[in-house]
Structure 1
Amino acid sequence: MVRAAPMTLEERRAALVDATLPLLYQHGRGVTTRLIAEAAGVAEGTIFRAFGSKDELVDAAIAKAFEPGQLVTRLDDIDMSWPLEQRLVTLVSILQQRLLAVFGLMRTCGMVAPPAVDEAAHEQWRRRVVARLIEVVGPDEARLSVSPGRLLHLLRLLTFSASHREIAEDQLLTPEEIVDVVLHGVLKKDCP
């Protein structure tokens, strides 16, 4: 029988973070090291060889949840041959799913603000996300009465507020509703 090569400390830490994150959505900061160890398939002592405390592991998992890497990957999958409205609904759906997950994690973990981040790295990610969002709208720029950047700003603001249970008074908007309001407004077409 061939044994797998042992994990490096960084690999073990990453595996523990990956195992912990889904548990946080369910248990918040009250997740036990026993649950984490079971999810990771390791002994509880392994957690403390990789992290100084359970709180350190939980903080690392929360920080990972706020990294935008998967968001960018999902945005890259938007098919540019689709009509503008379909591209925007898909874009808003991706943004809304991320926001709902982040808001849910914050609620479960008792957070009132996102964790502190490396500002330089965050700014690089933000620029990459904004550039991709503008690319999604770009082919239809001539049809717009505002710049692609302004359209995306409006979409992002409405998506944020329409995805936050407290702000939206528990009446979340669907991606289709958000896009329809931003692209077409709320006036009936036969009204002056």
Structure 2
Amino acid sequence: MPPRARPMSPEDRRTSLVDVTLRLLREHGREVTTRQIAEAAGIAEGTIFRVFATKDELVEAAISRAFEPGALVERIREIEAELPLEDRLVRLVGVLQQRYRATFYLMRRVGMLRPPDHDGELARSARAEIHALMVGLIGPDAGRLTVDPDDFCHRLRLLTFAGSHPQISDGHLLSPEQVVGTVLHGLSKEGR
């Protein structure tokens, strides 16, 4: 019998279980059991059902968490504005690629074809916030581009997405430097 878990508020327990379940979904997919979740969380299996009605409810909460933009937004905000434009963009693409690859992997493991609520208001709002942060990273270097920063960021995001997806890229994933070099030098006034 596992040691007794420390007391938690229902909300803290819920958050902890979602985090544990998300980690296990990446390993086991939807076949993860409540027993595995309980063991990983250090709780009795019945404790899960004090905060979630069903295993499916817990799994859906974990999948939803994976698509929340919080950590991605924070990582983009951490990119130093004083870096040269190409360095800022390489860091941005690296952050986006980590997110995309983790998302693609999770989606394959749980059998998803598209993110949950992809067309919902929260998803649109998150995409808009991320796009605005990307545009903000261009900053005073916008004059170097032959397209406006909105269009540049759209193209950068599309190439990053395609170059990070194993099937779309036919297994030839692009590095952040390759993505940025293609978009920046292909659209800069100076060229190469």
- Shared fold (TM-score, shorter chain, > 0.5): yes
Q: TM-score, normalised by structure 2?
A: 0.90
The gaps in structure 2 that reach 5 residues or longer are none
Secondary structure of 1:18's aligned partner: helix
Identity between Structure 1 and Structure 2 (%) = 55
Whether the 8 Å CA contact 2:118–2:124 is kept in 1: the answer is no
Q: Residue in 2 aligned with 1:157? A: 158
Secondary structure of 2:170's aligned partner: coil
Structure 2 Cα separation of the partners of residues 176 and 133 of structure 1:
16
Q: Residue in 1 aligned with 2:24? A: 23
Q: Residue in 2 aligned with 1:140? A: 141
The one-character-per-residue Cα deviations of 1:147-183 (angstroms, maximum 9, x if unpaired) are: 1111101100101111111111111101110000111
Shift of 1:87: 0.2
Q: Residue in 1 aligned with 2:66? A: 65
Q: Residue in 2 aligned with 1:172? A: 173
The gaps in structure 1 that reach 5 residues or longer are none
Number of aligned residue pairs: give it.
Answer: 186
The one-character-per-residue Cα deviations of 1:108-150 (angstroms, maximum 9, x if unpaired) are: 1111121126823223322221111111011201111111111
Whether the 8 Å CA contact 2:25–2:110 is kept in 1: the answer is yes
Query: Is residue 85 of structure 2 the alignment partner of residue 84 of structure 1?
Result: yes
Structure 2 Cα separation of the partners of residues 20 and 5 of structure 1:
18
Whether the 8 Å CA contact 2:117–2:123 is kept in 1: the answer is no
Q: Residue in 2 aligned with 1:32? A: 33
Structure 1 Cα separation of the partners of residues 180 and 35 of structure 2:
44
Query: Is residue 105 of structure 2 the alignment partner of residue 104 of structure 1?
Result: yes
Please provide the CA RMSD for this pair. 2.2
The one-character-per-residue Cα deviations of 1:17-69 (angstroms, maximum 9, x if unpaired) are: 01111111111001111211111111111111111111111110000001111
User: Compared with structure 1, are the counterparts of its residues 16 and 118 closer, same or farther at alpha carbon in structure 2 (3 Å cutoff)?
Assistant: farther
Structure 1 Cα separation of the partners of residues 119 and 55 of structure 2:
22
Letter paired with 2:117 = A
Secondary structure of 1:34's aligned partner: helix
